Amino acid sequence: MKILHYDILDSTMDEARRLLRDGFKEEFAILTKVQTAGRGRHGRSWQSQSGNLYLSVVTRDVDPQKLSQYALLWGVVLQQTISSLVTATVACKWPNDVLLEDKKLAGILIERFDSALIVGIGINILHHPDQVMFPATCLANYGVTCTPEELTDMLVQHYQRLRASWEKQGFDNFRNSWLNTAWKLNSEIKIGKNDESMVGIFETIDENGALILNTNGQKHKLLVGDLF
Ligand code: BTN
């Protein structure tokens, strides 16, 4: 995969959009040292000073039915890559975060551009924010000080291996890999969506990545929300 390197960008998501709009045809990834307008899910901002990883990976001609499956695939890619660097527990947190010992280490943002999928990945290597909804951590707290470039190479290798095995063995394997490391599976959780929240048992995720929440025997299928 072609990886384009930058020193500074507004957001790797926006640069990916510009390149797609200008007719860039192959699959590519964008890595920058700093972002001036990094964004997270639900329009939140993503602090992006030098030392952490800010990456967007573009996949062409994605079947719209499979969008949420790609999100889970990338969750597993991050989980496995980070697990190869630390001995502490690395978990996938629904819908799109990766936790290191219950603290947020990485987030994934999925956007579409025509039939292309832009997967934005932020991983805290040297820094993590303090004033956030969910406690955060970084790899340096665990003695890991790889560069964003080294981490990108590892992610791309895991992605290519896992994508090939997805194509060969089908998606259910990934759902299981994701569930095997899922944070708070079979536990009571609170899901917030806009100003409302629901409490119930996190039973599973379905084949589309929706979370199945059991509230006193009633099953709810949730496609978006924040998990606490
Ligand atoms: C989240 O947890 O809300 C998702 C965060 C995604 C952040 C990454 S950093 C690289 C890419 N460019 C952005 O502006 N956002 C994503």
* Closest ligand 1 atom to Cα of 96: 2
| pLDDT value, residue 223 | 81
Angle at 57 between CA 53 and CA 62, to 5 degrees: 155
Cα(43) to ligand 1 centroid in Å equals 10
Cα(106) to ligand 1 centroid in Å equals 9
Q: Which helix (H) or strand (E) holds 72?
A: helix 67-83
* Closest ligand 1 atom to Cα of 38: 14
> What residue has token string 């690395």?
90
Q: What is the reported pTM? A: 0.94
Under a CB-based contact definition with an 8 Å cutoff, are residues 31 and 85 in contact?
Answer: no
Per-residue pLDDT of the chain (228 residues; tens, 9 = 90+): 999 999 999 999 999 999 999 998 889 999 999 999 999 998 899 999 999 999 999 999 888 888 888 888 999 999 999 999 999 999 999 989 999 999 999 999 999 999 999 999 999 999 999 977 889 999 999 999 899 999 999 999 999 999 998 888 888 888 999 999 999 999 999 998 777 889 999 999 998 888 999 999 999 998 877 787
* Ligand 1 atom 11 nearest Cα: 120
| pLDDT value, residue 21 | 96
* Closest ligand 1 atom to Cα of 40: 3
Under a CB-based contact definition with an 8 Å cutoff, are residues 29 and 156 in contact?
Answer: yes
Cα(217) to ligand 1 centroid in Å equals 36
